[in-house]
Amino acid sequence: MRSALTTTPTAPTAARWPHWLAVVTAAATVLLIGAGGVVTNTGSALAVPDWPTTFGQNMFLFPWSRMVGGVLYEHSHRLIGSAVGLLTVILAIGLWLTESRRWVRRLAAVAVFAVILQGVLGGLRVVLVEHGLAIIHGCVAQAFFALMISLAVITSSAWMAARPSAPVPTPAADVRRLRPLALLTAPLVYLQLVFGALLTHTGTRLDAHLLGAAVVTACIGALAGRVLLRHTEHAALRRPATLLLALLLVQLGLGLGAYIWRFTMLNQSMPLELGLLLLSAHRLTGTALWGTSVVLVLRILRMAWATQGLLPQPARGARPHSGTLTAPQGGEVLA
């Protein structure tokens, strides 16, 4: 009998609809984060003083006629959050029914736990009137968004392909050198979001946020520059790297506008709507920057695995969608 270390399991397959559901859930999460930003920037966090009810009523039956001003912002945020939670549960059920990779199913279960935790944190922030929970609530939202982005990427057809979408003509050592830089850049982007949450909710740590902006700019420039110079033939890396640079430039401009609005006297000549637009756009662009960095990291990891022979390769006489993988360390299929 062949041992588990020498078996050559078939490359994993999965239904396509969970991938698109993951994409929709990620997009809904961006909308949720944007709505949360509007709630924070308009001071509407406590416009609805109770939870999980809304002024004592079932939140889903609360009349639209009473959704005005801050109540509109806060209650809409809750409804969008509920929709994201429902989508996450449906996605997790779908992956448990259709996904052959155990680690992906477990990641979907983590996403369900995270979205429940996020809802509870938001509710406790209202019930306990605890300002610090608002910061944690915002940071967990960004972590959950990364989970959704990850599920969308690893369930995509490109990731699931039996062989890499293109050969890796560059030396394996050069591919592996991308990995530590990518694994450094993405967490720094997330840390910058944490500093942004602190600044938004407390008005402090502007110094950390400005320093973080400089460090993130340098890291993204180094990572994207290396990808665009050394891996031009790999569209899967080139596209997110290009988008990362474009988003960075936009974010720096929006950051300057947000700084002028919040910390200089020039805001007196700016309409309130413009200030709210600047702050909201700055938050959403930071979210997009974070999500794009996660996509790039995952694709770099996949390419690194390909150079190490950890991705499924087609079996003799088999169609391209089925393949075998020699697992030198007995690990689970990474594709």
pLDDT digits (tens, 9 = 90+) for 209-229: 999 999 999 999 999 999 998
Residues 185 and 273 grouped into a single domain: yes
- The conformation of residue 252, written as its DSSP 8-state character, comes to H
* pLDDT number for residue 253: 96
Residue 297 inside a domain? The answer is yes
Q: What is the mean pLDDT of the segment spanning 295-322?
A: 64
Say what the pTM is.
0.86
Round the average pLDDT of the chain to a whole number and report it.
Answer: 85
The answer as to whether 335 is a domain residue is: no
95 shares its domain with 208 = no
φ and ψ at residue 251, rounded to 5 degrees: -65, -40
Least confident residue range of 77-91, 141-155, 156-170, 320-334: 320-334
Q: Indicate whether 297 pLDDT > 60.
A: yes
Write the pLDDT tens digit of every residue in 181-212: 999 999 999 999 999 999 998 888 899 999 99
Q: Does residue 134 sit within a domain?
A: yes
267 and 192 within one domain: yes
Pairwise pLDDT comparison (92 vs 328), residue with the higher score:
92
Which residue bears the tokens 């930071």?
286
Same domain, 142 and 224: no
Shared domain for 178 and 293, answered yes or no, is: yes
Least trusted range by pLDDT, from 81-90, 165-174, 267-276: 165-174
Domain boundary among 125, 160, 195: 160
Q: Is 22 a member of any domain?
A: yes
Q: For 58, phi and psi rounded to 5 degrees?
A: -60, 125
Are 154 and 110 within one domain?
yes
Q: Is residue 257 part of a domain?
A: yes
Which of 127, 160, 193 is where one domain is finished? 160
Q: Is omega for the bond preceding 52 within 30 degrees of 0, making it cis?
A: yes
- 26-81 confidence digits (pLDDT tens): 999 999 999 999 999 998 989 999 999 999 999 999 999 999 999 999 999 999 99
Could you tell me if 204 and 267 lie in one domain?
A: yes
Q: Are residues 217 and 90 in the same domain?
A: no
pLDDT value of residue 335 = 62
- Residue 314, classed as helix, strand or coil, is strand
| Spatial separation of the C-alpha atoms in residues 201 and 208, rounded to whole Å | 14
pLDDT tens, residue by residue, 90-145:
999 999 999 999 999 999 999 999 999 999 999 999 999 888 899 999 999 999 99
How many domains is the chain built from?
2
Element (H, E) at 75: helix 69-98
- Please report the DSSP string for 109-178 in residue order: HHHHHHHHHHHHHHHHHHHTT-HHHHHHHHHHHHHHHHHHHHHHHHTSHHHH-SS-SS---S-HHHHHHH
Residues 59 and 154 in one domain: yes
Location of structure tokens 């959950």: 144
* Interval 132-156: pLDDT, tens: 899 999 999 999 999 999 999 999 9
Long-range pairs, 189-195, Cβ under 8 A, ≥24: 189/216, 189/220, 189/286, 189/289, 189/290, 189/293, 190/142, 190/143, 190/146, 190/290, 192/216, 192/286, 193/139, 193/142, 193/286, 193/287, 193/290, 194/139
Please name the residue that has the structure tokens 């996403």. Answer: 111
The domain of 141 spans: 15-160
Q: Please tell me the distance from the alpha carbon of residue 13 to that of residue 16, in angstroms, as a whole number.
A: 9
> Within a domain: residue 328?
no
Token representation of residue 116: 């429940």
| Domain assignment of residue 110, yes or no | yes
pLDDT in the model for residue 131: 84
